[in-house]
Amino acid sequence: MLGICRGRRKFLAASLTLLCIPAITWLYLFAGSLEDGKPVSLSPLESQPHSPRYTASSQRDRESLELRMREVEEENRALRRQLSLAQGRGHRRGNHSRTYSMEEGTGDSENLRAGIVAGNSSECGQQPVVEKCETIHVAIVCAGYNASRDVVTLVKSVLFHRRNPLHFHLIADSIAEQILATLFQTWMVPAVRVDFYNADELKSEVSWIPNKHYSGIYGLMKLVLTKTLPAKLERVIVLDTDITFATDIAELWAVFHKFKGQQVLGLVENQSDWYLGNLWKNHRPWPALGRGYNTGVILLLLDKLRKMKWEQMWRLTAERELMGMLSTSLADQDIFNAVIKQNPFLVYQLPCFWNVQLSDHTRSEQCYRDVSDLKVIHWNSPKKLRVKNKHVEFFRNLYLTFLEYDGNLLRRELFGCPSEADVNSENLQKQLSELDEDDLCYEFRRERFTVHRTHLYFLHYEYEPASDNTDVTLVAQLSMDRLQMLEAICKHWEGPISLALYLSDAEAQQFLRYAQGSEVLMGRHNVAYHIVYKEGQFYPVNLLRNVAMKHVGTPYMFLSDIDFLPMYGLYEYLSLESSQTWSPIISCKATFPETCLQ
């Protein structure tokens, strides 16, 4: 308020100065233009050399007067510039005050009100800018087949808006690591690095904590990030898999510069009444400061947390609270809040648009008044896209945009930022440069070097190998126009199946909806669906067959085109024959890599 008043006083003073200066100037010029009580004429006609009134003295006076007029005009122009600057500052301060009032409506603390909404910052309160090529570190806990799909959508939304190099730290189980390692390796996104940390090795750190949350034991692993991530890593953004970004993640990274004193955790206030304990009768939540905080988006200052002995801090708090609570209801979030309740100085409260929580009991609509206010959307309800919210249709469309977005378009370079040399990428570029573009078969030869993005095990997969080591897997490949064959094949072949599907991102989501709506397909867990994403103009039949064959887990396989329907009982017949007369499959590379002959 003081800054606004000061700006108005400056504006008023500048206006009065601009009005008074011209009047004083012209009085001064008029007095100075008198010679012996008579005005000196500036008329061009009277100043001609042949005029009888023309003298050398009057010529000098005229030149002196013109010089003074030019000086006054320069002063006037300078005053106008100062006035326009004063108006601009006043206007920006007005915008800035409106930004504060909007944030005040979210119910956040003065830390929130001190935040600057991107695009509305003034000169005196400008948010620190992230360096152009500064690497942003992101940590995500991911386990299982479904969570791996969610991570892809999250990563797409981050890549779409980003302008900085990214380093993803993925705490993953063996399933998610296999899926995501292959995906990122074949995605080949410039200026993106991915490191994996074995989640199974961390189970012993948190398995002693009873947890009722649907995320299971993996929902507690954010507590041990200070111990898991590299010791040299100073700060990291921690995200849930059900997050969608609507802005550049660098804006969130810049908030680290606002931490003061002992603030080591950046969190958004919980937008439901869960921790207030009034959702239902006898509801007894874990202790929290006010409404508590949501841990779907966390800023962690790892170096300071380690110095504060965070590991010991949260363990002692959890042990004490579990004596009365017996188990956690919201996984790591309960323990984070219990620690903050005892040590409120640890938390820096983020504006709530950094974690707009979409569950049935939240008040998320108070965090935004316009689309431009949205930064991060959090689908933190077990219902996910089916959650009840006034604007859920808009949020769902935004989510579906990234869900079906062509991931190949995100392979763009960050110009001006040096990146680590990728051997595979360099070899690929070298091979492509050696091709002759005038060759009639150039497009076919170039297709050999195309790296297709691949998502293994797109749906949940379970398979127990046969004890007699005689099992047979049906192997096939298909595109979207053969999708109707899947149910019939599953009915005819009871054994394991490995399928490679050549689909676009949008078609992959159509397939997912089709499969989830089919009782036949959902009733089978021994069918592995591997998505090879479309790129180029040709159908890569050999690549698809190789992908399906590579991930066969049985000693024998039966190769078939998708159009051929196996007869009933063929699986049992081949399994019996393999136990009596067949030898294991031999791999060869005569025709194409990993072609198998019997």
Q: Is residue 285 part of a domain?
A: yes
- 257 and 140 in one domain? yes
Confidence of residue 421 (pLDDT cuts 50, 70, 90): low
Q: Tokens 């398995």 appear where? A: 207
State the residue range of the domain holding 76: 2-104
Give the chain's mean pLDDT. 80
**Which residue type occupies 318?**
A
- 87 and 141 in one domain? no
- Paired residues of 267 in beta bridges: 349
- 140 and 69 in one domain? no
- Of 408, 440, 466, the domain-final residue: 408
Rounded alpha-carbon distances, angstroms, from residue 387 to 278, 359, 362, 390: 20, 6, 11, 10
- 361 and 237 in one domain? yes
Question: 463 with 496: CB under 8 angstroms?
Answer: yes
Q: Is residue 270 part of a domain?
A: yes
Question: 178 with 211: CB under 8 angstroms?
Answer: no
- 513 and 475 in one domain? yes
- 216 and 260 in one domain? yes
Q: Is residue 112 part of a domain?
A: no
Q: Is residue 425 part of a domain?
A: no
- 168 and 218 in one domain? yes
In this prediction, residue 297 carries a pLDDT of 97
Question: 293 with 337: CB under 8 angstroms?
Answer: yes
The Cα 492–Cα 572 span in angstroms is: 11
- 342 and 460 in one domain? no
Backbone angles phi, psi at 90, to 5 degrees: -65, -40
Q: Is residue 116 part of a domain?
A: no
- 207 and 134 in one domain? yes
Task: Write the pLDDT tens digit of every residue in 458-515.
Answer: 999 999 887 778 899 999 999 999 999 999 999 999 999 999 999 999 999 999 999 9
Confidence check: pLDDT of 117 > 60: no
What is the total count of domains within the chain? 3
Q: Is residue 48 part of a domain?
A: yes
Confidence of residue 64 (pLDDT cuts 50, 70, 90): low
Concatenated DSSP letters for 242-283?
TEEESS-HHHHHGGGGG--TT--EEEEEP-BSGGGT-SSTT-
Between residues 107 and 364, the one the model is more confident about: 364
- 332 and 238 in one domain? yes
Q: Is residue 113 part of a domain?
A: no
Concatenated DSSP letters for 425-476?
HHHHHHHHHTS-TTSTTHHHHHHTT----EE---S-------TTS--EEEEE
- 577 and 512 in one domain? yes
- In the chain, what's the furthest Cα-to-Cα distance? 134
Sequence-distant (6+) residues with CB within 8 A of 3 are 93, 124
pTM of the model: 0.74
Secondary structure tally for the chain: helices H, strands E: 19, 19
- 488 and 344 in one domain? no
Task: Write the pLDDT tens digit of every residue in 146-180.
Answer: 999 999 999 999 999 999 999 999 999 999 999 99
Q: Is residue 15 part of a domain?
A: yes
In this structure, what token pair is assigned to residue 521?
């397909």
What dihedral do alpha carbons 559, 562, 564, 570 form, nearest 10°?
Answer: 50
In this prediction, residue 590 carries a pLDDT of 32
